[in-house]
């Protein structure tokens, strides 16, 4: 049996190119060609990355005329952030306490 790649959001954001694609889509929808211009790798490679993001629901695609535009699925992005929330809270709490400790250390 072929090794099926996992298609969950966390796998998707683990790749630096895919994270860069998501960042580009934060401000606007983009066509595959416009996206590819931002990367050194081939259009096919960028397109494969976009497909992974699309399959796991992080980007949506919309057809307008003959062109496809990719958009960020903000709802799905929130899911990613929610997952890390307990860990983030633990560290924010620790570091806020550390800020206080640092204020009181004598030179």
Footprint of another protein on this chain (CB under 8 A)?
10-11, 13-14, 83-95, 97-103, 105
In whole angstroms, how close is the CB of 9 to another protein at the nearest point? 10
Residue 35: CB minimum distance to another protein, A? 22
Closest separation between CB of residue 72 and another protein, Å? 18
Determine how many CB atoms are found less than 10 A away from the CB of residue 73. 19
Residues paired with residue 61 on neighbouring β-strands, in sequence order: 70
Contacts of residue 46, Cβ cutoff 8 Å, sequence gap at least 6 = 17, 21, 32, 35, 36, 39
Q: Which is nearer to another protein, 71 or 91 (CB)?
A: 91
Q: Could you tell me where the beta strands, DSSP code E, fall in 32-88?
A: 59-64, 67-72
Nearer CB in complex with another protein: 64/106? 106
Q: Which is nearer to another protein, 18 or 69 (CB)?
A: 18
Nearer to another protein, 71 or 95 (CB): 95
At its nearest, how many Å lie between another protein and the CB of residue 107?
8
What whole-number distance in Å separates Cα of residue 46 and Cα of residue 30? 13
Which residues lie below 8 Å from residue 54, measured CB to CB, with a gap of 6+? Answer: 60, 61, 70
């Amino acid at each position: 049996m072929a090794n099926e790649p996992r298609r969950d959001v966390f796998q998707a954001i683990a790749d630096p190119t895919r994270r860069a694609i998501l960042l580009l889509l934060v401000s606007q929808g983009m066509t595959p060609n416009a996206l590819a211009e931002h990367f050194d790798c081939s259009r096919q490679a960028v397109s494969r990355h976009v497909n992974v993001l699309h399959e796991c629901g992080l980007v949506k695609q919309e057809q307008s005329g003959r062109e496809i535009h990719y958009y960020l699925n903000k709802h799905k992005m929130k899911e990613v952030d929610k997952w890390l929330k307990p860990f983030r809270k633990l560290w924010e709490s620790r570091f806020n306490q550390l800020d206080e400790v640092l204020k009181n250390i004598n030179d």
